[in-house]
Structure 1
Amino acid sequence: MCRNKEAKPVSSISDARLAGDDDGERRSGYEEPIHDQQGEGEPHVDEVGEELVLLGRIVWPIVITSFLLYSRSVVSMLFLGRLGGAELAGGSLAIAFANITGYSVLKGLAMGMEPICGQAFGARRWSVLAHTFQKTLLLLLLATIPISLLWLNMEPILLRLGQDAAITSVAKDYLLYSFPDLIAQAHLHPLRIFLRSQSHTKPLTLFAAFALLLHFPVNYLLASYLDCGVKGVALASSWNTISIDLGLVGFILRSENSIKPWAGLSRESIRGWWPLLALALPTAASVCLEWWWYEVMLLMCGRLPDPRAGVAAMGVLIQTTGLIYVLPASLGMGLSTRVGHELGANRPARARHAAL
């Protein structure tokens, strides 16, 4: 076994230099496996078993969490359907417009921080991890400004696209009361990646389960009992996201094992944007293209002879078929975390074996 005096992370971290991290934070003196030094060779059976255990510990909470978070939309569609056909169609149209113009953009931009944070954690460069979170949060909050302008003008936009006026009016009400959810999502997306990069996946599962349990009574209270209609369903979805946000912040405050995302908050936090943007912008484009084709089909249903039935049916179909993406997407997120850790620790062979 040989020892490295200083293990520098791969280019996406060393190029990052976006945090002004200290040399003392860099990992040193770790033992590098023999097959890493050779750059070739098959992993031992014990290493395969160890890797599966490590990957499983990260992935299974992500899978459960993804189902829980996805169930929120299913519950919302259920309550929209109980309100009536126009409400279901209008809510589906609003969700499609929000996904196209807002949520897909936020998710894609946030995913740009994932390779940086994963490698920074593997390299023990805590300031890079914290500063990347701070930059991504600021980036997403800035992105909500043009998104909000689009949401405020969604009614004339949808009418020019040939959507039914009655359905569009309902969609406008739903979207206006989804602004709290937009801001909460801008904070939740980078926070999830920040915690997942440290292999803290169980807290999100716990708080997502708690929020989903509350989602039923909150929807009933706002939409049915207080007779708020689609506005109540939108507010219930916003409260679901806000409650998860608050729970995760509370976990970070009380945890002794989690890095604080506001640690090292300084002038360095707003410098060195290019490494993050170089990853975030292409990722956002990729996510948007993946999401938009579904939502564009829903908009096309609004031009059918019976737009209320077409939009409502397509909205339910999208929510149902979306479940098939939960498992592979969760495996991908867990694998990305493992590979990032090994690359950051300067163990490329272990990263390759983890991917295989």
Structure 2
Amino acid sequence: MFIPIIRGRSNKKAHAEMEPPPLHEQTIPCTFFQRSLLESKKLWKIAAPAIFTAICQYSLGAITQTFVGHVGTLELAAVAIGNSVISGLAFGIMLGMGSALETLCGQAFGAGEIKMMGIYMQRSWIILICTAIVLIPIYVFSPPILILLGQTREISDLAGKYSLYIIPQLFAYALNFPIQKFLQSQRKVMVMAMVAAVVLAIHVALSWLLILKVGWGLAGAAAVIDFSWWLIVLGQMGYIIGTKSDGAWTDFSLLAFQELFAFVKLSLASALMLCLEFWYLMILIVLTGYLKNPLIAVDAISICMNLNGWEVMIAIGFNAAISVRVSNELGAGNPQTAKFAVLVVSITSVAIGLVCMAIILITRNEFPYLFTNSDDVAKEVTKLSGLLGFTMLLNGLQPVLSGVAIGAGWQALVAYINLGCYYVVGLPLGLLLGFKFDFGVQGIWGGLTGGIVLQTIILVVVTSCTNWDKEATQAENRVKKWGGSAGLGNSSGEPC
């Protein structure tokens, strides 16, 4: 049975004309199964294109490295280090800074303050461009930084040369992440997916042409990666300017320079929250290199992290989906709907994590040979399969809870939780088990996993104890404070 629920309407005409229908006026089913099915459809409509977009963008660097591998081993090492360490560091910071927009644009969209979304995006551009300028010295002085991290001078010097070539990519990040959060908050994820697919196809063709056919090598690899990221930016901006994004884009405005300090505070909290997560498992590979016999251990952990990385692409999609759902519903004054969305996405993502864990455990003696011909490496991967499977299970729930935090605006709180769980508990525990008690890579990974478990438990408790009506009120106040009138509807989100 379906009962129509009529909530307060926003007075924003542009918002009223957008598809899908306004959040304030929906027909919602009464049974738990019907509600779950409807919510699941909404989540997958956002998550599926977001997963595809993440995979396409993740593949840009991987494809570049694949073509460079045919040039030489030194060039491959330089590009791999440049992409994973130097560019990876900047990627984490810029993505984190841009994630503040998920909170603000999502809640503004839900509240019907459509025109403010373009202003928020421009504010984020200003902050991220300034951040990119601050990060330039890391690219310029990357050789001594890499040597300090244990790389050879030969690899460090060539990686430093490559890092100089990819500085334009840094500024593409500064524009891209706010654009994507802007589109994502409006649930225009199919636009992002189509742009990503077209750019990926062009990237493959240009990589073959410039790196191998023309013979530009390292310079060609950098030129292609720069061009592809800027093509993503231009493609998305072309759509936004051409369509006005249903009223969310109203051209450039001096309002973008207002309330910058408060915007910076939320951006820094978002960056700290995500960077602490982003770098945590990267530490695992670095620490593994300091074991007594690191070669086999590093190869094995690299295989495990590669598999884990692909599953993380699914988690990123659900992170985006729940962030959008929570921010939209809180902005619309529907706290109970936001709460129910958290429940549904948690059940869905944990189910996917269980399936991934089961596949790893069932094939633990076979799947390592897909990546290596070495029996020693394969045996080590098999030993690590239990931890890999458990990490994949955690990947089902933990990113979802981080997405809830972004949608609700809890970035500062979660940053403190991450700092304590990861670096006060997990990292020391990993060092103790791995080196003091001589459990090797299993001990290091086990300790770091302990930090993730603690963080997940705390976030589950925080989410379960949340007063969602209060969160909706705070969302209304946030929209009003930063430029909107927040014409919200009834805060009763109970569908039946």
Normalized against structure 2, the TM-score is what? 0.60
Aligned: 1:341 with 2:316 = no
d(CA) in 1 for partners of 2:87, 2:298: 15
Cα displacement (A) at 1:191 = 0.3
Partner of 1:164: 152
> 2: CA distance between counterparts of 1:70 and 1:126?
30
Residue 269 of structure 2 corresponds to 282
Tell me which amino acid in the other structure corresponds to 1:155.
P
For residues 149 and 306 of structure 1, do their structure 2 counterparts lie closer, same or farther at Cα, with a shift above 3 Å needed?
farther
SS of match in other structure, 2:69: helix
User: What letter matches 1:125 in structure 2?
Assistant: E
Counterpart of 2:260 (choices 267, 270, 273) is 273
**What displacement does 1:287 show?**
1.7
- Alignment pair present for 1:332 and 2:295: no
Aligned AA (1:272): E
Cα distance in structure 2, aligned partners of 1:111 and 1:162: 32
CA contact (8 A) 2:119 2:256 kept: yes
SS at match of 2:246: coil
Within the candidate set 241, 257, 264, 1:253 is matched to 241
* Correspondent of 1:353 among 340, 343, 359: 340
1:240 aligns with 2:238: no
From the superposition, tell whether residues 293 and 88 of structure 1 become closer, same or farther in structure 2 (CA, over 3 Å).
farther
**What displacement does 1:183 show?**
1.0
- 1:311-350 CA-to-partner distances (Å, cap 9, x unmatched) read 9998787555411201012111111101111111101111
2:39 to 30, 46, 51: 51
Q: How many residues align?
A: 334
Cα deviations by residue, 1:95-144 (Å, 9 ceiling, x for unpaired): 23324541110000001110111010011112321111111111110001
Superposed, 1:131-280 pairs within 5 Å as 131-255=119-243, 257-261=245-249, 263=250, 265-280=252-267
Seen in structure 2, the aligned counterparts of structure 1 residues 209 and 316 have a Cα distance that, compared at 3 Å, is farther
- SS of the residue aligned with 2:215? coil
Letter matched to residue 165 of structure 1: R
Read off the aligned partner of 2:71 and give its amino acid letter. L
**What per-residue deviation string (whole Å, max 9, x for no partner) do you get for residues 266-300 of structure 1?**
33221112443333212211221222234445556
Partner of 1:95: 83
- Equivalent residue runs for 1:33-44 within 5 Å: none
- Please, what TM-score do these two structures have when normalized by structure 1? 0.82
Residues 14 and 246 in structure 2, CA contact (< 8 A), matched pair in contact too: no
Matches of 1:224 and 1:147 in 2, distance apart? Answer: 31
Counterpart of 1:15 in structure 2 is none
Q: Does the aligned pair in 2 maintain the 1:335–1:354 contact within 8 Å?
A: yes
Distance 1:189 1:256, change over 3 A: closer
CA contact (8 A) 2:65 2:76 kept: yes
* Mean Cα deviation higher: 302-311 or 80-89: 302-311
Q: Which residue of 1 aligns with 2:376?
A: none
Which of structures 1 and 2 has the larger relative contact order (alpha carbons within 8 angstroms, sep 6+)? 1
Instruction: Give the match for residue 62 of structure 1.
Output: 50
User: Percent same amino acid among aligned pairs?
Assistant: 26
In structure 2, what is the Cα distance between the partners aligned to 1:88 and 1:68?
21
- Provide the C-alpha distance between the structure 2 equivalents of 1:186 and 1:306, rounded to a whole number of angstroms: 41
* Cross-structure match for 2:407: none
Provide the rounded CA distance (Å) in 1 between the counterparts of 2:151 and 2:24. Answer: 62
Q: Is the 8 A contact 2:116 2:248 kept in 1?
A: no
TM-aligned CA distance change 1:309 to 1:81, over 3 Å: farther
Q: Tell me which residue corresponds to 1:14.
A: none
Contact 1:123 1:344 survives alignment (8 Å) = yes
1:169 deviates by 1.5
Question: Is residue 115–residue 247 contact of structure 2 (8 Å, CA) maintained in 1?
Answer: no
Mark the CA change 1:313 to 1:191 in structure 2 (over 3 Å): closer, same or farther: farther
Q: 1:25 to 1:251 in 2, by over 3 A?
A: closer
Deviations 1:159-190 (A, max 9, x none): 23432011011201211111111111111111
Over 3 Å counting, the alpha-carbon distance change for 1:3 and 1:105 in structure 2 is: closer
The unaligned stretches of length 5 or more in structure 2 are 17-21, 344-496
Q: Which amino acid aligns with 2:95?
A: K
Shift of 1:50: 2.4
- Judged with a 3 Å threshold, the aligned counterparts in structure 2 of structure 1 residues 293 and 52 are, in CA distance, closer, same or farther, namely closer
Question: Retained in 2: the 8 A contact 1:93–1:299?
Answer: no
- Indicate how the Cα distance of structure 1 residues 296 and 48 shifts in structure 2: closer, same or farther if over 3 A, else same: closer
Match of 1:38 in 2: none
Let me know the Cα RMSD of the aligned residues.
3.3
Q: Distance in 2 between matches of 1:189 and 1:104?
A: 11
- What is the Cα deviation at residue 198 of structure 1? 0.6
Deviation at 1:306, TM superposition (A): 11
Query: Cα 1:314–1:186, aligned 2, differ >3 Å: closer, same or farther?
Result: farther
In structure 1, distance between residues paired with 2:288 and 2:68? 18
For the 8 Å contact 1:162–1:302, the answer to whether it is kept is: no
User: Aligned pair in 2 of structure 1 residues 296, 172: CA closer, same or farther (>3 Å)?
Assistant: farther
Unmatched tracts of structure 1, length 5 or more: 8-22, 36-41
